[in-house]
């Protein structure tokens, strides 16, 4: 899939609207605790500034639900942008109100303006066409660089694109890279290709698993979702997380893997605990010997060894979902061991966003992976084979 490229646009001296994803985590004092999302937008912003553009930046932050709420102001983002860009960043006090319109009318080449939180406008999340038009009227060119929200049909992501033609809209560098990585993965991965799929539930990953099966050579299952598969195989899983209504689907996935010749790996041992807590009593047991009332919260050391063996010869690894409750140190070991192994391998390693990206960053291995997606929900939808609403209108039409 080819999408409209920012490099093909005539940007010189244009007013450019860049939809970014500045939805950064904040601590309890309102300080940005991780500015990676702001940093990853810099190449697109700087590229536009180098072409003497007047730049209008827009993003959401948190969920203010259509109301102005100081808690969600983009002021900390404006300050961080100022430091990173080393130039003034003017923050508007509204989104499409008097202040924004006045400031935009005065905006000159190479100046940067940031609109207030897009979700102060209730039309944003319902893809309101009036809001989309007001946003579109601000600029000559529209750039989407907000991969993290491109799976949402929101006014600044989807609705707005209809007001620009193929010569005046495109994906920014970040969005371009995300789409390229995932489409290569889904269409022409270097083989053998393995998917490591974990996380809490089968339900969250079922569509992705089903779509991945015909494309991969091996699947390694971890996390809470493994127990639905183990239960379906007739194991006693104690008090582990399970989705009884998905037992049949789990069987279908295993049958399909067998039919396609995909090697399907499940944990052979697990770390079980007597309660869901850091101060629980825990022990290693084989998958066959999970005691009643104990819950599996991580993969065990034999599984780590098995998965390493299985991953040894692969050329491409896609990892989506932790192997255990990595937020608690006690149950982070399985994920950490797998992360180190994947990072050290010579394979192309692609990490889905969200929890898996968070875990890889916590361990400090983010630089070692080939690619870490910036969007959890958006990357999952790509794995499910969906076309993201924010990308749909940026696809280059075949002529
Ligand atoms: P997901 O959002 O589906 O990718 O799931 C991520 C969450 O799964 C993380 O918050 C983990 O703590 C959780 N998780 C991983 N393994 C388990 C497990 N064995 N039991 C319960 N939750 C788990």
- Tell me how far apart the alpha carbons of residues 342 and 368 are, in angstroms, rounded to a whole number: 9
Ligand 1 pocket test, candidate residues 200, 277, 327, most atoms within 8 A of CB? 200
Over 80: is that where the pLDDT of 353 sits? no
Gyration radius of the chain's alpha carbons: 23
The pLDDT, as a whole number, for residue 83 is: 97
Q: For the segment 84-105, what is each residue's pLDDT rounded down to a tens digit? A: 999 999 999 999 999 999 999 9
| pTM beyond cutoff 0.85 | yes
The yes-or-no answer on residue 354 being catalytic is yes
174 closest CA partner among 377, 375, 396: 375
Which residue in 333, 313, 337 sits closest to 324, CA to CA? 333
Domain annotation for the chain: domains and CATH numbers: 6-175 (3.40.50.1260), 189-383 (3.40.50.1260)
The residue-averaged pLDDT of 249-267 equals 98
**Residue 108 designated active-site:** no
Residue 397 confidence (pLDDT): 78
Is pLDDT of 193 > 90? yes
- Whether pLDDT at 175 is above 90: yes
Best of 203, 223, 267, 331 for a ligand 1 pocket test (most atoms within 8 Å of beta carbon):
223
Tokens representing 128?
Answer: 């309101």
Q: What share of the chain is helix, strand, coil (3-state, %, to 5)?
A: 40, 15, 45
CA 118 to CA 127: how far, in whole Å? 12
Main-chain dihedrals φ then ψ at residue 302, nearest 5 degrees:
-70, -35
Tell me if residue 102 is catalytic.
Answer: no
User: Is it the case that residue 262 has pLDDT exceeding 80?
Assistant: yes
Task: List Cβ neighbours of 145 (8 Å cut-off, separation of 6 or more).
Answer: 18, 19, 20, 21, 41, 44, 171, 172, 173, 174, 175
Question: How many whole angstroms separate alpha carbon 101 and alpha carbon 296?
Answer: 56
SS3 assignment for 111-168: CEEECCCHHHCCCCCCCCHHHHHHHHCCCCEEEECCHHHCCCCCCCCCHHHHHCCCCC
Output the CA 223–ligand 1 centroid distance in Å: 6
Cα dihedral 249/252/253/258 (nearest 10): 170
**Rounded distance, CA 143 to CA 156, Å?**
10
**What is the spatial distance between Cα 163 and Cα 155, in angstroms, rounded to a whole number?**
11
Measuring from each residue's beta carbon to the nearest atom of ligand 1, which residues come in under 6 Å? 199-201, 204, 223-224, 241, 296-297, 321-322, 324-325, 327, 355
Summarised one tens digit per residue, pLDDT across range 129-154 is 999 999 999 999 999 999 999 999 99
- Residue located via tokens 């959890």: 376
- Residues 309, 185 contacting (CB under 8 angstroms): no
- Over residues 276-292, the mean pLDDT reads 97
CA 199 to ligand 1 centroid distance, Å: 4
d(CA 17, CA 163): 12
Looking at 97, 310, 377, 386, which residue is catalytic?
A: 377
CA of 200 to the centre of ligand 1 (A): 3
Which residue's C-alpha comes closest to atom 2 of ligand 1? Answer: 199
| Range 25-40 average pLDDT | 90
pLDDT at 101: 98
pLDDT band at 399 (very low <50, low <70, confident <90, very high): low
């Amino acid at each position: 899939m080819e999408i409209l490229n920012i490099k093909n646009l005539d940007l010189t001296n244009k007013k450019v609207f860049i939809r970014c994803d500045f939805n950064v985590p904040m601590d309890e004092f309102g300080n940005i605790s991780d500015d990676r999302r702001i940093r990853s937008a810099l190449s697109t912003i700087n590229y536009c500034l180098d072409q003497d553009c007047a730049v209008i930046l827009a993003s959401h932050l948190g969920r203010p639900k259509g109301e102005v709420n100081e808690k969600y102001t983009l002021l900390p983002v404006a300050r961080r942008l100022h430091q990173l860009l080393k130039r003034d960043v003017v923050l508007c006090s509204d989104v499409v109100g008097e202040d924004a319109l006045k400031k935009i009318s005065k905006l000159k080449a190479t100046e940067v303006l940031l609109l207030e939180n897009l979700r102060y406008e209730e039309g944003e999340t319902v893809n309101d066409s009036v809001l989309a038009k007001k946003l579109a009227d601000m600029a000559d060119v529209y750039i989407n660089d907000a991969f993290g929200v491109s799976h949402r049909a929101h006014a600044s992501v989807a609705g707005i694109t209809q007001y620009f033609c193929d010569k005046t809209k495109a994906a920014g560098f970040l969005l371009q890279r995300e789409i390229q990585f995932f489409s290569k993965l889904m269409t022409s991965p270097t083989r053998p290709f393995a998917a490591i799929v974990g996380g809490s539930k089968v339900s969250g990953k079922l569509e992705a698993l089903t779509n991945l099966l015909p494309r991969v050579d091996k699947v390694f299952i971890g996390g809470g979702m493994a127990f639905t598969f183990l239960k379906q195989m007739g194991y006693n899983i104690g008090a582990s997380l399970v989705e009884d209504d998905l037992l049949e689907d789990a069987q279908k996935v295993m049958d399909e893997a067998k039919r396609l010749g995909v090697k399907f790996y499940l944990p052979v041992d697990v770390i079980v605990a007597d309660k869901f807590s850091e101060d629980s009593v825990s022990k290693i047991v084989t998958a066959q010997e999970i005691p009643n009332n104990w819950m599996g919260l991580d993969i065990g050391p034999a599984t780590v060894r098995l998965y390493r063996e299985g991953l040894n010869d692969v050329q491409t690894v896609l990892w989506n979902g932790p192997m255990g409750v990595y937020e608690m140190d006690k149950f982070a070991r399985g994920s950490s061991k797998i992360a180190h192994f994947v990072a050290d391998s010579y394979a192309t390693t692609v990490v889905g966003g969200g929890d898996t990206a968070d875990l890889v960053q916590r361990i400090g291995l983010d630089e070692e992976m080939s690619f870490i997606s910036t969007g959890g929900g958006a990357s999952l939808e790509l794995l499910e084979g969906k076309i993201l609403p924010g990308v749909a209108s940026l696809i280059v039409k075949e002529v």
